[in-house]
Amino acid sequence: MSAPARSSATLLAWAAGAAALVAIAFMVDGYTADLYRKLLLITSLALAFNFLFGVAGQVAFSQVAFYGVGAYSITILWAVYHWPFPLALIATVVVCTLVALAVAIPTNRLEGFYLALATLAFAQFFVVLLLQGGSFTGGPDGLSGFKSPEIFGLKLAGRNYIFVLIALFLATLAVLRNLDNSYFGRACRAIRDNPEAAAAMGVNVARTRIIVFTLTSTLSALAGVCYAFADNYVNPNVFNLNDMFILFFMVIIGGSGRHAGAIIGATVLFLLPEVLGDVIGRRHLLIYGLFVVLAILFWPQGLVGVFDAMRARLLPRRAGG
Protein backbone atom coordinates (compact mmCIF):
# COMPACT_ATOMS: atom_id res chain seq x y z
CA MET A 1 0.00 0.00 0.00
CA SER A 2 1.38 3.42 -0.96
CA ALA A 3 2.02 6.17 1.58
CA PRO A 4 -1.00 8.32 0.51
CA ALA A 5 -3.25 5.26 0.68
CA ARG A 6 -1.97 4.38 4.16
CA SER A 7 -2.49 7.98 5.27
CA SER A 8 -6.06 7.98 3.95
CA ALA A 9 -6.79 4.65 5.62
CA THR A 10 -5.39 5.94 8.92
CA LEU A 11 -7.48 9.11 8.77
CA LEU A 12 -10.56 7.05 7.96
CA ALA A 13 -9.90 4.74 10.90
CA TRP A 14 -9.48 7.69 13.27
CA ALA A 15 -12.68 9.30 11.99
CA ALA A 16 -14.61 6.04 12.37
CA GLY A 17 -13.27 5.54 15.90
CA ALA A 18 -14.15 9.08 16.94
CA ALA A 19 -17.64 8.73 15.44
CA ALA A 20 -18.17 5.47 17.35
CA LEU A 21 -17.10 7.05 20.65
CA VAL A 22 -19.44 10.02 20.07
CA ALA A 23 -22.29 7.69 19.12
CA ILE A 24 -21.88 5.78 22.38
CA ALA A 25 -22.08 9.10 24.26
CA PHE A 26 -25.59 9.61 22.87
CA MET A 27 -26.67 6.07 23.76
CA VAL A 28 -25.69 6.05 27.45
CA ASP A 29 -27.44 7.73 30.33
CA GLY A 30 -27.42 7.74 34.11
CA TYR A 31 -25.18 5.08 35.63
CA THR A 32 -23.97 3.80 32.25
CA ALA A 33 -22.92 7.34 31.32
CA ASP A 34 -20.88 7.51 34.52
CA LEU A 35 -19.25 4.16 33.65
CA TYR A 36 -18.44 5.48 30.19
CA ARG A 37 -16.81 8.60 31.62
CA LYS A 38 -14.68 6.57 34.01
CA LEU A 39 -13.77 4.11 31.24
CA LEU A 40 -12.48 6.93 29.02
CA LEU A 41 -10.42 8.23 31.93
CA ILE A 42 -8.90 4.87 32.86
CA THR A 43 -8.04 4.03 29.24
CA SER A 44 -6.27 7.40 28.88
CA LEU A 45 -4.32 6.65 32.06
CA ALA A 46 -3.53 3.11 30.86
CA LEU A 47 -2.17 4.47 27.57
CA ALA A 48 0.24 6.77 29.42
CA PHE A 49 1.41 4.01 31.76
CA ASN A 50 1.77 1.56 28.88
CA PHE A 51 4.16 3.94 27.12
CA LEU A 52 6.23 4.38 30.27
CA PHE A 53 6.29 0.70 31.22
CA GLY A 54 5.68 -1.23 28.01
CA VAL A 55 7.48 0.97 25.49
CA ALA A 56 10.19 2.64 27.59
CA GLY A 57 10.64 -0.22 30.07
CA GLN A 58 10.46 1.90 33.24
CA VAL A 59 8.92 -0.09 36.09
CA ALA A 60 7.46 2.98 37.79
CA PHE A 61 4.40 2.83 40.02
CA SER A 62 3.65 6.53 40.30
CA GLN A 63 1.11 7.08 37.51
CA VAL A 64 -1.93 7.02 39.78
CA ALA A 65 -0.16 9.45 42.12
CA PHE A 66 0.31 11.91 39.26
CA TYR A 67 -3.33 11.30 38.34
CA GLY A 68 -4.06 12.57 41.86
CA VAL A 69 -1.61 15.47 41.59
CA GLY A 70 -3.54 16.73 38.58
CA ALA A 71 -6.94 16.22 40.20
CA TYR A 72 -6.03 17.94 43.47
CA SER A 73 -4.05 20.77 41.87
CA ILE A 74 -6.88 21.88 39.61
CA THR A 75 -9.42 21.46 42.41
CA ILE A 76 -7.44 23.53 44.91
CA LEU A 77 -6.64 26.31 42.44
CA TRP A 78 -10.10 26.42 40.85
CA ALA A 79 -12.46 25.52 43.71
CA VAL A 80 -10.57 26.64 46.82
CA TYR A 81 -8.62 29.69 45.63
CA HIS A 82 -11.01 30.56 42.77
CA TRP A 83 -8.41 31.15 40.07
CA PRO A 84 -9.74 31.67 36.53
CA PHE A 85 -10.03 28.25 34.96
CA PRO A 86 -7.55 28.79 32.07
CA LEU A 87 -4.94 30.10 34.51
CA ALA A 88 -5.64 27.26 36.96
CA LEU A 89 -5.26 24.71 34.17
CA ILE A 90 -1.94 26.15 32.98
CA ALA A 91 -0.64 26.33 36.55
CA THR A 92 -1.70 22.71 37.13
CA VAL A 93 0.22 21.51 34.09
CA VAL A 94 3.30 23.46 35.24
CA VAL A 95 3.06 22.07 38.78
CA CYS A 96 2.63 18.49 37.57
CA THR A 97 5.54 18.82 35.14
CA LEU A 98 7.81 20.18 37.86
CA VAL A 99 6.80 17.43 40.29
CA ALA A 100 7.44 14.82 37.59
CA LEU A 101 10.89 16.29 36.92
CA ALA A 102 11.61 16.32 40.66
CA VAL A 103 10.91 12.58 40.74
CA ALA A 104 12.46 11.70 37.37
CA ILE A 105 15.84 13.40 37.73
CA PRO A 106 17.04 11.68 40.94
CA THR A 107 15.59 8.29 39.92
CA ASN A 108 16.66 8.17 36.26
CA ARG A 109 19.63 5.90 37.03
CA LEU A 110 17.47 3.38 38.88
CA GLU A 111 16.10 0.33 37.11
CA GLY A 112 13.71 -2.52 37.81
CA PHE A 113 13.07 -3.27 41.47
CA TYR A 114 14.82 -0.12 42.73
CA LEU A 115 12.86 2.22 40.46
CA ALA A 116 9.65 0.48 41.48
CA LEU A 117 10.48 1.00 45.18
CA ALA A 118 11.37 4.67 44.70
CA THR A 119 8.17 5.47 42.80
CA LEU A 120 6.08 3.43 45.24
CA ALA A 121 7.55 5.51 48.06
CA PHE A 122 6.60 8.71 46.24
CA ALA A 123 3.07 7.42 45.62
CA GLN A 124 2.61 6.48 49.26
CA PHE A 125 4.03 9.81 50.42
CA PHE A 126 1.51 11.59 48.19
CA VAL A 127 -1.43 9.69 49.72
CA VAL A 128 -0.20 10.45 53.26
CA LEU A 129 0.15 14.11 52.29
CA LEU A 130 -3.47 14.15 51.12
CA LEU A 131 -4.71 12.46 54.30
CA GLN A 132 -2.78 14.83 56.56
CA GLY A 133 -3.38 17.97 54.51
CA GLY A 134 -6.20 19.30 56.67
CA SER A 135 -8.47 21.87 55.06
CA PHE A 136 -5.98 22.36 52.21
CA THR A 137 -6.63 18.89 50.78
CA GLY A 138 -9.82 18.06 52.70
CA GLY A 139 -8.12 15.26 54.63
CA PRO A 140 -9.70 11.78 54.41
CA ASP A 141 -12.98 13.28 53.18
CA GLY A 142 -11.41 15.00 50.20
CA LEU A 143 -12.87 18.03 48.45
CA SER A 144 -16.39 18.13 47.05
CA GLY A 145 -19.24 20.40 46.09
CA PHE A 146 -17.30 22.54 43.63
CA LYS A 147 -18.86 23.56 40.33
CA SER A 148 -17.88 22.48 36.85
CA PRO A 149 -16.05 25.00 34.64
CA GLU A 150 -17.55 26.70 31.63
CA ILE A 151 -15.92 27.38 28.26
CA PHE A 152 -17.49 30.07 26.06
CA GLY A 153 -20.64 29.84 28.17
CA LEU A 154 -20.89 26.06 27.72
CA LYS A 155 -20.93 24.18 31.01
CA LEU A 156 -18.71 21.10 31.01
CA ALA A 157 -21.13 18.68 32.60
CA GLY A 158 -23.30 15.75 31.59
CA ARG A 159 -22.99 14.69 27.96
CA ASN A 160 -20.89 17.74 27.14
CA TYR A 161 -18.24 16.47 29.53
CA ILE A 162 -18.19 13.07 27.82
CA PHE A 163 -17.07 14.85 24.65
CA VAL A 164 -14.21 16.41 26.63
CA LEU A 165 -13.13 12.96 27.83
CA ILE A 166 -13.35 11.57 24.28
CA ALA A 167 -11.06 14.39 23.17
CA LEU A 168 -8.67 13.57 26.04
CA PHE A 169 -8.57 9.89 25.08
CA LEU A 170 -8.03 10.55 21.36
CA ALA A 171 -5.39 13.23 22.02
CA THR A 172 -3.50 10.95 24.43
CA LEU A 173 -3.59 8.09 21.92
CA ALA A 174 -2.51 10.34 19.03
CA VAL A 175 0.42 11.85 20.95
CA LEU A 176 1.75 8.52 22.21
CA ARG A 177 1.20 6.72 18.91
CA ASN A 178 3.08 9.39 16.96
CA LEU A 179 5.89 9.36 19.52
CA ASP A 180 6.09 5.58 19.33
CA ASN A 181 6.47 5.75 15.54
CA SER A 182 9.18 8.41 15.75
CA TYR A 183 12.90 8.29 16.52
CA PHE A 184 12.04 8.99 20.18
CA GLY A 185 9.85 5.89 20.35
CA ARG A 186 12.53 3.74 18.78
CA ALA A 187 15.04 5.14 21.28
CA CYS A 188 12.70 4.25 24.16
CA ARG A 189 12.33 0.67 22.94
CA ALA A 190 16.09 0.38 22.44
CA ILE A 191 16.67 1.52 26.03
CA ARG A 192 14.05 -0.93 27.26
CA ASP A 193 15.73 -3.86 25.48
CA ASN A 194 19.37 -2.97 26.17
CA PRO A 195 20.40 0.39 27.69
CA GLU A 196 24.12 -0.23 27.04
CA ALA A 197 23.56 -1.00 23.37
CA ALA A 198 21.28 2.03 23.03
CA ALA A 199 23.95 4.29 24.53
CA ALA A 200 26.55 2.82 22.16
CA MET A 201 24.25 3.74 19.25
CA GLY A 202 24.20 7.38 20.38
CA VAL A 203 21.00 7.46 22.43
CA ASN A 204 21.16 9.72 25.48
CA VAL A 205 19.72 7.22 27.94
CA ALA A 206 19.38 9.52 30.96
CA ARG A 207 17.74 12.35 29.01
CA THR A 208 15.34 9.99 27.22
CA ARG A 209 14.26 8.37 30.48
CA ILE A 210 13.64 11.75 32.13
CA ILE A 211 11.63 13.00 29.15
CA VAL A 212 9.43 9.91 28.89
CA PHE A 213 8.78 9.83 32.64
CA THR A 214 7.88 13.52 32.71
CA LEU A 215 5.72 13.31 29.59
CA THR A 216 3.70 10.28 30.67
CA SER A 217 3.31 11.65 34.20
CA THR A 218 1.99 14.95 32.84
CA LEU A 219 -0.46 13.10 30.58
CA SER A 220 -1.64 11.15 33.63
CA ALA A 221 -2.05 14.44 35.50
CA LEU A 222 -4.19 15.82 32.66
CA ALA A 223 -6.41 12.75 33.00
CA GLY A 224 -6.58 13.57 36.73
CA VAL A 225 -7.68 17.12 35.89
CA CYS A 226 -10.56 15.68 33.90
CA TYR A 227 -11.36 13.19 36.69
CA ALA A 228 -11.84 16.04 39.16
CA PHE A 229 -14.88 17.29 37.23
CA ALA A 230 -16.33 13.89 36.37
CA ASP A 231 -18.05 13.78 39.78
CA ASN A 232 -16.94 17.18 41.17
CA TYR A 233 -15.27 15.25 43.96
CA VAL A 234 -11.71 14.18 44.78
CA ASN A 235 -10.77 11.75 47.55
CA PRO A 236 -7.44 10.17 48.62
CA ASN A 237 -8.89 6.65 48.33
CA VAL A 238 -9.03 6.99 44.54
CA PHE A 239 -5.26 7.44 44.26
CA ASN A 240 -3.99 4.61 46.46
CA LEU A 241 -1.62 1.79 45.57
CA ASN A 242 -4.43 -0.70 44.93
CA ASP A 243 -5.53 1.29 41.90
CA MET A 244 -1.91 1.48 40.71
CA PHE A 245 -1.60 -2.30 40.74
CA ILE A 246 -4.93 -2.64 38.90
CA LEU A 247 -3.56 -0.26 36.26
CA PHE A 248 -0.44 -2.43 36.05
CA PHE A 249 -2.55 -5.55 35.48
CA MET A 250 -4.57 -3.75 32.80
CA VAL A 251 -1.43 -3.11 30.77
CA ILE A 252 0.01 -6.59 31.32
CA ILE A 253 -3.20 -8.44 30.49
CA GLY A 254 -4.02 -6.24 27.52
CA GLY A 255 -0.55 -6.53 26.02
CA SER A 256 2.43 -4.56 27.30
CA GLY A 257 3.97 -2.19 24.78
CA ARG A 258 0.89 -2.15 22.51
CA HIS A 259 -1.49 0.82 22.51
CA ALA A 260 -4.36 -1.46 21.53
CA GLY A 261 -3.37 -3.74 24.40
CA ALA A 262 -3.64 -0.92 26.92
CA ILE A 263 -7.11 -0.02 25.64
CA ILE A 264 -8.33 -3.64 25.60
CA GLY A 265 -6.87 -4.46 29.01
CA ALA A 266 -8.31 -1.33 30.63
CA THR A 267 -11.73 -1.95 29.08
CA VAL A 268 -11.89 -5.61 30.09
CA LEU A 269 -10.64 -5.21 33.67
CA PHE A 270 -12.74 -2.09 34.26
CA LEU A 271 -16.01 -3.58 32.98
CA LEU A 272 -15.47 -7.15 34.20
CA PRO A 273 -16.38 -6.43 37.86
CA GLU A 274 -19.55 -4.67 36.71
CA VAL A 275 -20.62 -7.63 34.59
CA LEU A 276 -19.65 -10.27 37.15
CA GLY A 277 -21.25 -8.34 40.00
CA ASP A 278 -24.61 -8.42 38.22
CA VAL A 279 -24.30 -12.12 37.34
CA ILE A 280 -22.82 -13.82 40.42
CA GLY A 281 -23.05 -11.17 43.14
CA ARG A 282 -20.41 -10.91 45.85
CA ARG A 283 -18.29 -13.75 44.51
CA HIS A 284 -17.28 -11.64 41.53
CA LEU A 285 -13.98 -10.61 43.14
CA LEU A 286 -12.89 -14.27 43.28
CA ILE A 287 -13.64 -14.78 39.58
CA TYR A 288 -11.99 -11.46 38.76
CA GLY A 289 -8.78 -12.47 40.54
CA LEU A 290 -8.83 -15.92 38.93
CA PHE A 291 -9.17 -14.36 35.47
CA VAL A 292 -6.19 -12.08 36.11
CA VAL A 293 -3.99 -14.99 37.24
CA LEU A 294 -4.99 -17.23 34.32
CA ALA A 295 -4.49 -14.42 31.82
CA ILE A 296 -0.96 -13.77 33.07
CA LEU A 297 -0.11 -17.49 33.04
CA PHE A 298 -1.58 -18.54 29.70
CA TRP A 299 -1.58 -15.31 27.63
CA PRO A 300 1.91 -13.86 28.13
CA GLN A 301 1.46 -11.62 25.04
CA GLY A 302 -1.79 -10.25 26.44
CA LEU A 303 -5.28 -10.22 24.98
CA VAL A 304 -4.10 -8.28 21.95
CA GLY A 305 -1.65 -11.12 21.29
CA VAL A 306 -4.56 -13.58 21.36
CA PHE A 307 -6.37 -11.49 18.75
CA ASP A 308 -3.20 -11.39 16.61
CA ALA A 309 -2.91 -15.18 16.75
CA MET A 310 -6.56 -15.65 15.79
CA ARG A 311 -6.18 -13.26 12.89
CA ALA A 312 -3.01 -15.02 11.71
CA ARG A 313 -4.89 -18.33 11.65
CA LEU A 314 -7.90 -16.95 9.83
CA LEU A 315 -6.11 -14.96 7.15
CA PRO A 316 -4.31 -17.94 5.52
CA ARG A 317 -7.60 -19.84 5.41
CA ARG A 318 -9.31 -16.93 3.69
CA ALA A 319 -6.40 -16.64 1.25
CA GLY A 320 -6.57 -20.36 0.52
CA GLY A 321 -10.32 -20.22 0.01
One DSSP character per residue, 248-307 reads HHHHHHHHTT-HHHHHHHHHHHHHHHHHHHHHHGGGHHHHHHHHHHHHHHH-TTHHHHHH
The pLDDT value recorded for residue 3 is: 58
Check: CB of residue 96 under 8 Å from CB of residue 71.
no
**pLDDT at res. 242:** 84
The one-digit pLDDT tens for each residue of the chain (321 residues) are 555 666 777 788 889 989 999 999 999 888 899 999 999 999 999 999 999 999 999 989 999 999 999 999 999 999 889 899 999 999 999 999 999 999 999 988 888 788 889 999 999 999 999 999 888 888 989 998 888 887 777 777 778 899 999 999 999 999 999 999 999 999 999 999 999 999 998 999 999 999 999 999 999 999 999 999 988 899 998 888 888 888 988 898 888 889 999 999 899 889 888 877 666 656 666 776 777 777 777 777 778 887 877 877 776 655 444
Q: Is the dihedral of CA 36, 42, 45, 46 positive or negative?
A: negative
Exposed e or buried b per residue across 198-218, where buried means at least 16 C-beta atoms within 10 angstroms of its C-beta? beeeebebeebbbbbbbbbbb
Round to whole Å and give the CA distance between 45 and 221.
9
Sequence spans of domains, the chain: 15-239, 240-321
Q: What is the pLDDT of residue 321?
A: 46
* DSSP 8-class letter at 80: I
Whole-angstrom Cα distance, residue 209 to residue 200? 16
Instruction: Say what the pTM is.
Output: 0.90
78, with CB counted inside 10 A (0-12, 13-18, 19+), is: buried
CA distances from 257 to 121, 264, 304 (A): 25, 12, 10
H-helix or E-strand spanning residue 115:
helix 112-131
Residue 311: other Cβ atoms inside 10 A:
9
243 φ/ψ angles, rounded to the nearest 5 degrees: -65, -30
